[in-house]
Structure 1
Amino acid sequence: MRNAYRILYEGAVGEITEKKSRFIATFRPVKTEEEAAAFIDELRKKYWDASHNCYAWIIGKNGEEKRSSDDGEPSQTAGKPMLDVLERENIVNICVVVTRYFGGTLLGTGGLVRAYSSAVKEGLNACTVLTIEPAKKVSILTDYNGIGKIQYILGQLDMKTLESNYTDRVELIVLVPDEKLGKLNAEITEATSGKAVMTELFEVYYSILNKEVILFEE
């Protein structure tokens, strides 16, 4: 069974200050460990004069790969708390680097955990996170008498028509969420007395951003 999952779609930067220490959280979407490593290296070069560049990343639809680093901070006070925030939000294909400029005052282990976690949360608020859901591209072939009924059903079920082809018949290419496939088939069959033909084309994942469909084909 295919399940929905959440990804980082567009990264951003968030910053907090704690006892004069600056914590800058920078996010980027990543799909491989190599992409994550390149991003971390890029940030280390950009913030070469920082006290620490700690990181956390999660990759894979089910979060199969994950890693974090304290980068010289006391053990378990930076990378792990950062990773914990990402895991609680159930976001994958994400990498965050939190850059710290030391402000002269020690924060203690509890203070560090709170600061790194807060920086990640602040940055996430500025990011674009999408829920990716399983669906199928479906072809619906009908005569002109059935098109109005089918379009009404699609509207009622809030389904997106991706393409429309008008010849001697009408073919609609529709994005159908997995859980609505059976209901759509039953309603179209009933409305057109079985004259319309519905054919599953292939599986995709999709999301909606600003009312626009974004497809993630497998």
Structure 2
Amino acid sequence: MLFDDSYKTINRLAEGFFKDKGSKFISYAYPLPSENDAKIFLAELRELHPKAVHHCYAYRLGLDRMSYRMSDDGEPSGTAGRPILNTLYSRDITNILVVVVRYFGGTLLGVPGLINAYKTATESALDEAEIITCHLTQFYELVFSYIRMNDVMRIVKEMELPVTEQQFEMQCRMIVEVRTTLVERFVTRCEKVEGLVMKLI
């Protein structure tokens, strides 16, 4: 199989809700650029819901199934974080954090009830979310003399590379974003431009 550099994620925060026997499960799905962002979002939710008994979550990063974390936050083991994570796998979305905040309603739901509640609350948020397709990319810094500008711009335009930074002086500098599947072609073309210094950042 050819390497695929595309993945599905969400583009903005989405919320969902599920209720069972008086317990309320409020779910939040966040687009997650990095692991650090997860801590920030969790801290914000703890401030927003200080009286909730549980803040259970799971997140997934990247395309493999190894980059994830989950927490039952005091619920019986395997009844909260795992159902949330499994829902992310079954929907095939990544770079996402789902937190389900629970307010206890006074009646125990039991293990099957909890698994169902966390799964359904997660699905509720994902149903509200807008799913987008993104691509794995790498950023390259290009440094070249002004006289090579046309050669470099031809590569950028023909390969439709997004430019995130640029400075045009006697010595020009540009940062471009390259899809992972195009890197080899991009590097080969850049190597043909005289005096162009290329660096992965």
Instruction: Name the TM tier (shorter chain).
Output: 0.5 to 0.7
Divergent runs of 4+, >6 A: 3-9, 127-130
Structure number with higher relative contact order (C-alpha < 8 Å, ≥ 6 residues apart): 2
SS in 2 for 1:166: coil
Q: 1:25 to 1:151 in 2, by over 3 A?
A: same
Equivalent position of 1:39 in the other structure: 43
| Aligned equivalents of 1:126, 1:178: Cα separation in 2 | 26
Equivalent position of 1:184 in the other structure: 186
Specify which structure has the higher proportion of strand: 1
Contact 2:17–2:125, Cα closer than 8 Å, also in 1: yes
Structure 2 residues not aligned, in runs of 5+: none
Contact 2:16–2:125, Cα closer than 8 Å, also in 1: yes
Deviation of residue 133 (structure 1)?
Answer: 2.4
Count of residues in Structure 1 that have an aligned counterpart in Structure 2: 190
Contact 2:46–2:55, Cα closer than 8 Å, also in 1: no
Contact 2:18–2:124, Cα closer than 8 Å, also in 1: yes
Query: What does the per-residue CA deviation read over 1:128-183, in whole Å, with 9 as the maximum and x for residues that have no partner?
Result: 88857241323152554x5445423322211022214133x655443333432332
Q: Give the 5 Å matches for 1:185-200.
A: 185-187=187-189, 194-200=192-198
Q: 1:129 to 1:16 in 2, by over 3 A?
A: farther
Equivalent position of 1:53 in the other structure: 54
TM-score of the two chains, using structure 2 as the length reference? 0.62
Q: 1:129 to 1:39 in 2, by over 3 A?
A: farther
Equivalent position of 1:113 in the other structure: 115
Aligned match for 1:23, one of 17, 22, 25: 25
| Aligned equivalents of 1:149, 1:200: Cα separation in 2 | 14
Deviation of residue 8 (structure 1)?
Answer: 7.5
Equivalent position of 1:153 in the other structure: 155
Q: 1:9 to 1:59 in 2, by over 3 A?
A: same
Identity of aligned residues (%): 19
Structure 1 residues not aligned, in runs of 5+: 204-218
> Could you say which structure has the larger radius of gyration?
1
TM-score of the two chains, using structure 1 as the length reference? 0.59
Deviation of residue 9 (structure 1)?
Answer: 7.5
